[in-house]
Structure 1
Amino acid sequence: MHRTARTASVAVAIAATFGISACGGSGGAEVAADEKQTLTVWAMGTEGEKLGEVAAAYKKVNPNVTVKVTPVGWDVAHQKLVSAAAAGNLPDVTQMGSTFMGEFAELGVLEPVDTKEFAKGDFFPAAWESNVVDGEVYGVPWYVDTRVLYYRTDLAQQAGITKAPTNWAELSALASAYQDKAETKWGISLQPYNLDAWQNWLPFFYSAGGELIKDGKPALDGEAAVKSLTEYASYFDKGLAKKSVQPGYDVIKDFGNGSVPMFMSGPWQTTNIAENQPQLKGKWAAAPMPAGTSSTSFAGGSSLVISKDSKHKAAAREFIKHLTDAKGQADWYQRTTDLPANQAAWNEGKLASDPNLKVFRSQMESAKAIPALAKWAEIGSKIDEAIESVTQGKASPEQAAKKMQSATAGLVE
């Protein structure tokens, strides 16, 4: 789940300039799945680096299909996708970040998923729902992430606490105990502002019973928004969390030295801790999001989409099946440690036995999707502004919630 500063409105403007419409499609004969052909695929970040290995193995079993993978950096992914869509040059298959989905579905450049070939029940519900736009499914979930709580168990024991916090009161108590009894500098790391601060706040909002969109409109000024903003701001008001952080701040270093004993993040941090802070082995754990009225995080990750203009849709569907069935997902986890979107892939090996990974599975089972909205980038930035206003003491939670609602009202269609 990734975002750039370039907004959906820019994409729509470009699309209008180049004449992209919702009908899409270039016509012409499509190539059968088993005919000799080259399938073009764009993948981002680490996935782009690793997918070439899978493509080579795939060709050995499917000699007529050459899968040409182009790695794309996440920092330029949005711009490249917008430009390719505008020019009618999207690859046959593209990795699509969850916050991009609504935008590109609205542009009419994606082929709807054949739900007879890909079953909703195979995937985590929130991962599937993140690909649904106006009742149509446009992507097949590839890998997932969600946010959970990371905490130093050794320092918690020093503070007299021997179990993970299960609710907001226990979370606040642990943050205070870290400072008061284990003498840590901070109690927890939460993002006070900057791009994508909403990713730290959203689990509080969802756990308070919030819904981002209700009856087709933003629902950001209700009781759940006020309660979650109040709880979130309390950590800054009490001096338990830093009010100021630099862009690109690496919490893992401070987690390792003990100055920040607790933070909320995604599954990639398990690898970061193991590789960069090996001295912490056996001294930390992951736990589900502490509950407000529920323990609910949000679902992130990426899906795989097919270009509406592709002449290789049959081969594209077969390749996506290979990547998203239980066997392919288990293999992909071994290559990348990306968490499988296919639930059956979790039933064997480390995914079934590692206690920290089990936390992510249980959290995904109750996670909520981020609605696939064309203007999510703009909506997210408005939420970021509201979060900053409360963490910096410039607005009350009630004022910030009203600001979020009014600022996003015109961005949901």
Structure 2
Amino acid sequence: MHTDRRRFGLALASLAAAMPVACARPERPLRIWAMGLEGEALDRFGRDFEALHPDMPVRIQALPWGAGHEKLLTAFAADNLPDVVALGNTWIAEFAALGALQPLNARLAQSTITLDRYFDGPRKAVTVGDDILGIPWYVDTRLLFYRKDLLAKAGFSSVAKTWDGWDQQLAALSGARRGGKYGLLMPFAEYEPLVAFCLQADEPILMDSATRGGFRQKSIRDSFAYAVSLYTRGFANRLTHSEVTDVYSSFARGDFAFIITGPWNLAEFARRLPADMQGKWATAPLPGPNGPGVSSAGGVSMCIPKLSRKPDQAFAFIQYMCAPEQAAAFYEQTGDLPADRGAWQLTNLMHDARSLTFFDQLNRTRPPPQVPEWERIANEMGAALERVVRGLTTLDAALKSLDEFAWRALAKRRSLLEARGVA
């Protein structure tokens, strides 16, 4: 009896010893989340990364932009964020405040990434205090797309660099001089142009460590007043975004001569405008109060959540995707502009006048205020602009209301900073 038990025990031990070889668990994949079409495009690069690193399988999930923010917050609450997450730069401050992101300073110091080569605006957007919380992946900003032929017909050889000069051009391209058409398309619901004008001010949009609004400061008021005047002087039509049904056909008809928009429209204008229109449009930097103006620094950065189970592999993937060669290849596939200036040299971007304007503008950008509440405040700025233009309130009353809105929105941040003796 004892001999049988001993033999049975030896058999179990032998089987157990063999199991890790025969039934070894597959390596847990590196989980990566990215938004929209870029998330879908990332799949090819994930396969290429796996080919170079067979011991690092990846699983990429594309999230829709509309639902992505909520999904990220839900995943954070459940301690279920992925190993790499591609965050819109305006979201980084929010996830930093939650303590959800790993600082990358030490890893960067040992990496092949040269952050000094990146555009300043996105680089500032990923830096919170002394911590670098992400690597800029692709960048976004706003500038002017315009009809060269209409500008020339009005007697101008190039787009003005100052507000005063641009006003003269808009006046010549608006109203009775052009059959009741408008010089500029700037729908109310799009707050980005207004934010860009305010970023051109000498004073910050949010004051005192971004704990309260600064909308009644003189230069911010001047920027807001300038945006209002574009409508009240008849340069821009008073339209909501839903009333603009086909931007491209309207642009081709000459319903407006200028639009403030982003880099995705380089490809869209080339694809959607008629063939005879392709030589008649161009891009130009935003004008400013006293010279070439800054614009907002947008885009997406790759970050590592604090609870990532594979931080080393996560950074290896980020380093791979942010290498100039991969950034250039990603641009060729998606049209997204690289955050690394070095990657531009590997594409046709530096040889095309329209995209070269973006390079120029990206060297003059500022990130919007880096607080979790920023998007709420920016949306309220857009709503306030519409109320003033439609005569529902005065400019000064609207700016006072914006300061009050920001005061309420930033209450938690103010309380936390006051407790630390900062604000």
The amino acid of 2:57's aligned partner reads T
Cα shift readout 1:143-187 (whole Å, capped 9, x = no counterpart): 001100111001112222221121112222222212344446211
Secondary structure of 1:319's match? helix
Question: 1:337 Cα deviation (Å)?
Answer: 1.0
Secondary structure of 2:29's match? strand
Gaps of 5+ in 1: 1-34
1:131 pairs, out of 113, 126, 144, with 126
Tell me the TM-score normalised to structure 1 length: 0.86
Could you say which residue in structure 1 is the equivalent of 2:248? 252
1:284 pairs, out of 258, 281, 297, with 281
Question: 1:140 Cα deviation (Å)?
Answer: 1.0
Query: Is the CA contact 1:191–1:200 (under 8 Å) kept in the aligned structure 2?
Result: no
Could you say which residue in structure 2 is the equivalent of 1:213? 206
Query: Is the CA contact 1:159–1:182 (under 8 Å) kept in the aligned structure 2?
Result: no
Query: Is the CA contact 1:132–1:372 (under 8 Å) kept in the aligned structure 2?
Result: no
Query: Is the CA contact 2:163–2:290 (under 8 Å) kept in the aligned structure 1?
Result: no
1:189 pairs, out of 185, 188, 195, with 185
Query: Is the CA contact 1:40–1:67 (under 8 Å) kept in the aligned structure 2?
Result: yes
What is the alpha-carbon distance in structure 1 between the residues aligned to residue 64 and residue 300 of structure 2?
A: 14
What does 1:166-181 correspond to in 2, within 5 Å?
A: 166-179=161-174, 180-181=176-177
Query: Is the CA contact 1:155–1:182 (under 8 Å) kept in the aligned structure 2?
Result: no
Given the superposition, is the C-alpha separation of residues 210 and 297 from structure 1 closer, same or farther in structure 2, using an over 3 Å criterion?
farther
Secondary structure of 1:143's match? strand
Query: Is the CA contact 1:158–1:182 (under 8 Å) kept in the aligned structure 2?
Result: no
1:318 pairs, out of 316, 319, 327, with 316
What does 1:14-413 correspond to in 2, within 5 Å?
A: 37-114=28-105, 115-116=108-109, 117=111, 118-179=113-174, 180-183=176-179, 185-192=181-188, 194=189, 197-216=190-209, 217=211, 218-247=213-242, 249=244, 250-279=246-275, 280-294=277-291, 295-412=293-410, 413=413
Question: 1:275 Cα deviation (Å)?
Answer: 0.6
Larger radius of gyration: 2
What is the alpha-carbon distance in structure 2 between the residues aligned to residue 283 and residue 184 of structure 1?
A: 21
Cα shift readout 1:276-326 (whole Å, capped 9, x = no counterpart): 113321101100001113411010010111121111110110110111122
Gaps of 5+ in 2: 1-25, 414-423
What is the alpha-carbon distance in structure 1 between the residues aligned to residue 178 and residue 385 of structure 2?
A: 29
Secondary structure of 2:259's match? strand
Secondary structure of 1:71's match? strand
The amino acid of 1:342's aligned partner reads D
Query: Is the CA contact 2:31–2:83 (under 8 Å) kept in the aligned structure 1?
Result: yes
Query: Is the CA contact 1:187–1:260 (under 8 Å) kept in the aligned structure 2?
Result: yes
Given the superposition, is the C-alpha separation of residues 96 and 396 from structure 1 closer, same or farther in structure 2, using an over 3 Å criterion?
same
Given the superposition, is the C-alpha separation of residues 215 and 340 from structure 1 closer, same or farther in structure 2, using an over 3 Å criterion?
same
Tell me the TM-score normalised to structure 2 length: 0.84
Q: Once superposed, what is the RMSD of the aligned Cα atoms? A: 1.9
Cα shift readout 1:44-98 (whole Å, capped 9, x = no counterpart): 1110110001111111111111111111111111111111111111111111012
Question: 1:37 Cα deviation (Å)?
Answer: 4.6
The amino acid of 2:288's aligned partner reads A
Query: Is the CA contact 2:194–2:382 (under 8 Å) kept in the aligned structure 1?
Result: no
| Worse overlay, 203-212 or 91-100 | 203-212
What is the alpha-carbon distance in structure 1 between the residues aligned to residue 203 and residue 115 of structure 2?
A: 24
Cα shift readout 1:7-52 (whole Å, capped 9, x = no counterpart): xxxxxxxxxxxxxxxxxxxxxxxxxxxx955111111111011000
Cα shift readout 1:325-371 (whole Å, capped 9, x = no counterpart): 22221111111110000111122431211111111111111100122
Percent identity reads 29
What is the alpha-carbon distance in structure 1 between the residues aligned to residue 394 and residue 168 of structure 2?
A: 23
Secondary structure of 1:408's match? helix
Question: 1:209 Cα deviation (Å)?
Answer: 2.6
Secondary structure of 1:94's match? strand
How many aligned positions are there? 376
Secondary structure of 1:243's match? coil
The amino acid of 1:293's aligned partner reads N
Query: Is the CA contact 2:195–2:378 (under 8 Å) kept in the aligned structure 1?
Result: no
Question: 1:135 Cα deviation (Å)?
Answer: 3.2
What is the alpha-carbon distance in structure 1 between the residues aligned to residue 255 and residue 406 of structure 2?
A: 37
Query: Is the CA contact 1:97–1:303 (under 8 Å) kept in the aligned structure 2?
Result: yes
What is the alpha-carbon distance in structure 1 between the residues aligned to residue 393 and residue 67 of structure 2?
A: 34
The amino acid of 2:301's aligned partner reads S
Secondary structure of 1:380's match? helix
The amino acid of 1:266's aligned partner reads G
